[in-house]
Amino acid sequence: MQTVTVSEQGQVIIPIKIRKQLGITAGTQLNLILENAGLRVEVQKRIQPTRSEDGYGLLICKEPGERHLADFDVAHIVSPEY
């Protein structure tokens, strides 16, 4: 058993040894279950890291010719007035 401290925002840091053992990484979803006078935490879903090819086809350019990722200005795509 390890003891952690709750921050003013209600956050706790799960010790790295436990995170590694359970495969908890950024984005992992946890279930919090009230049990009698305690709290049980279960890993609900492990998020797999994304790869650049996972986003293929998300950016569309209607201009003719071959395009490369470096040709796109993400800020302009998200907010055309930028």
Mean pLDDT of all residues in 7-16: 94
Q: Which structure tokens are listed for 29?
A: 């979803």
> Tell me: the pLDDT tens digits for 30-48?
999 999 999 999 998 766 6
Residue 10 scores a pLDDT above 60: yes
Q: Which helix (H) or strand (E) holds 43?
A: strand 38-45
- State the DSSP string of 19-30: HHHHT--TT-EE
| pTM greater than the 0.85 cutoff | no
